[in-house]
Structure 1
Amino acid sequence: MAPRASWKGHLRLSLVSCAVKMYPATSSADRISFNQLHKETMNRINMKPVDPKLGLVERSDLVRGYEYEPKQYVLIEDSDLDAVRIESNHTINIEAFVDEDQVDVIYQDAPYYLAPDGALAEETFIVLREALRQSGKVGIGRLVLTSRERVVTISARETGMFISTLRNPSEVRGTAEYFGDIPVGNPDPEMLELAQKLIEQKATLFDPKAYEDRYEKALLAMIKEKVKGHKPVTAAAPERGNVIDLMAALKASLGEPKPAARSKSKAAPAAKEAKKAGAPETATAKPKPAARKKA
């Protein structure tokens, strides 16, 4: 079954446009969630609207209001929202192009995939996609989602395009309130060098599959055991001692192995070759048995 598009419209650059479909690039369907139940009846609880004076009310009696002053509201009708017609209702108009690294990650919000809507749109879509790819830039446009206009970035991704909605600048908090009291300082050169070496030692290629949600995994295992009627046994995480000497901690950390980038089957022959060449044994080489003491 083909995925259902969350938005349909046109992508336009100057006088060139094509029909497109947009899909959410992420899903939370597999994320574990809980329902609220009554502890005696075990019935699922329904959340219903309650008026402080009238008590339980019907949803059909609810209206939309904007609080312009404390406890002062102006009512907004559907017709009022329909009257606010802007060009981006059904069109993503690319207004400008910027380097990707100029868009601070803190502004990036929800990710989407963009694809052509029908065979007739494919040729124009491919031209726009490749123009974006070869320019090395991302487009800045606007579109309306859930009755709100959102500024978005548009970029080439594989055979399609990638869209990210951007947060409004008013939604992003400044850093002064949080970082203002942190001194700039001049770190100890030797400690800084050790920290840089530690970063180099642990440098590897990013693989999202290697960083699974351990809490979610443990939660699912616990739920499965509960379903079977078993009492789950959880192992406490090992406690780490308080680090007192930063220099000693950095030096000790450098002794930790680098993230493995090769399998054990490849590591063993490499260790043997190193031993023949007179190089010191690696962590994968087996230690020599201790000499027995004479009686």
Structure 2
Amino acid sequence: MTGRAIWKGHLSVGELSCGIALYSAATTSERISFHYVNRKSGNRLRREFVDEETGKPVERDDQVKGYETAKDTYVVLEPDDIAGAVPKGDKTLEICEFIACDDVDTVYFDKPYFLKPADEADEEAFALIREGMRRKKVAALARAVLFRRVRSMLIRPRGCGLLGHTLHFDYEVRSADEAFDDLPDVTIKGEMRSLAKHIIETKTGSFDPAAFDDRYDAALAELVKAKAEGREIPKPKREDKGKVVDLMEALRESAAAADKQKTAGKKRGAKRAAPQGRKAG
């Protein structure tokens, strides 16, 4: 199940077009969430906007958005003003060009979405676009008015459907050169370099999302369960402050541990693969 479509429109490339539906490919709805409540009464709290100077609540009709041009000076924008600035869309996700699948730096990726045909009549045209992209090993750059803004989307084949990522605008992405400009250019040589290479080689694997668990969410779920059952909550242990270690010694220990882990993994694999002996007839 892909849930409910959050947008419907048309995917077009040149004169070819098909109806599509957009679905969220990731969700945080399964995470533990909380409400604010009154500790004394146990009643749920509600938020209220108050005037910063008078401290009095402001009715919804009197709440408007303002852009600060100087300290405590605002340009007030009415709802109609903002609505007028929203670009008009025609519900078309238009493919502007096809590019290599790895042309876009992942730092530009925003949110993932699944694209499916809107109905059976659109399945053939949808499949034609998808398979054409798959055979040429390309991705599509498309644009549409999504969620009140003109958005760019990178679209790639995924199974029987398409996977799209909305993209950050260039001004939203910070410069890596500026972020790292104060880091020295350190050259690693000799045994230290060899040990680092060895550790990487022994720990080389593949990405398995199921192997990564949300420990914080699991801990919160257990905490809520314990509280609801009236069990005593154990106090968290204080972690000792990290000790200053010799980098070379740490690398040697890490390499030894990696070798040990790799050897144990091979033994487990061999044991599972060993054929079972037949019983005498």
TM-score, length-scaled by structure 1? 0.81
Give the structure 2 partner of residue 268 of structure 1: 271
User: Deviations 1:76-120 (Å, cap 9, x if unpaired)?
Assistant: 44476357544x541100001222222111110111100000111
Secondary structure of 1:150's match? strand
Give the structure 1 partner of residue 191 of structure 2: 190
> Could you say if the C-alpha distance between residues 13 and 69 of structure 1 is closer, same or farther in structure 2, counting changes exceeding 3 Å?
farther
Establish whether residue 50 from structure 1 lines up as the match of residue 50 from structure 2: yes
| 1:54-133 paired onto structure 2 within 5 Å | 55-67=56-68, 71-78=73-80, 81-82=83-84, 85-86=87-88, 88-133=89-134
User: Deviations 1:152-194 (Å, cap 9, x if unpaired)?
Assistant: 1111110000110111111111134431111112112321121
Secondary structure of 2:28's match? coil
Shift of 1:226: 1.0
Flag the structure with larger Rg: 1
Secondary structure of 2:122's match? helix
> Could you say if the C-alpha distance between residues 119 and 270 of structure 1 is closer, same or farther in structure 2, counting changes exceeding 3 Å?
closer
Secondary structure of 1:163's match? strand
Alpha-carbon distance in structure 2 between the residues aligned to 1:100 and 1:242: 44
Secondary structure of 1:258's match? helix
Alpha-carbon distance in structure 2 between the residues aligned to 1:11 and 1:156: 14
Alpha-carbon distance in structure 2 between the residues aligned to 1:26 and 1:136: 24
Give the structure 2 partner of residue 258 of structure 1: 262
Alpha-carbon distance in structure 2 between the residues aligned to 1:200 and 1:37: 52
Q: Gaps spanning 5+ residues in structure 1: where?
A: 272-295
Kindly tell me the number of residue pairs found equivalent between the two proteins. 269
Work out whether residues 2 and 23 of structure 2, in 8 Å CA contact, stay in contact via their aligned partners in 1: no
Work out whether residues 204 and 259 of structure 1, in 8 Å CA contact, stay in contact via their aligned partners in 2: no
Work out whether residues 68 and 74 of structure 1, in 8 Å CA contact, stay in contact via their aligned partners in 2: no
Shift of 1:128: 0.4
Secondary structure of 1:109's match? strand
TM-score, length-scaled by structure 2? 0.85
Work out whether residues 21 and 116 of structure 2, in 8 Å CA contact, stay in contact via their aligned partners in 1: yes
Alpha-carbon distance in structure 2 between the residues aligned to 1:238 and 1:204: 30
Does 60-69 or 93-102 show the bigger shift?
A: 60-69
Alpha-carbon distance in structure 1 between the residues aligned to 2:208 and 2:125: 34
User: Deviations 1:108-163 (Å, cap 9, x if unpaired)?
Assistant: 01111000001111100000011111121211111222211111111111000011
> Could you say if the C-alpha distance between residues 40 and 238 of structure 1 is closer, same or farther in structure 2, counting changes exceeding 3 Å?
closer
Does 13-22 or 229-238 show the bigger shift?
A: 229-238
Give the structure 1 partner of residue 39 of structure 2: 39
> Could you say if the C-alpha distance between residues 77 and 219 of structure 1 is closer, same or farther in structure 2, counting changes exceeding 3 Å?
closer
Give the structure 2 partner of residue 165 of structure 1: 166
User: Deviations 1:245-293 (Å, cap 9, x if unpaired)?
Assistant: 22221111111113976794x443779xxxxxxxxxxxxxxxxxxxxxx
Q: Gaps spanning 5+ residues in structure 2: where?
A: 275-281
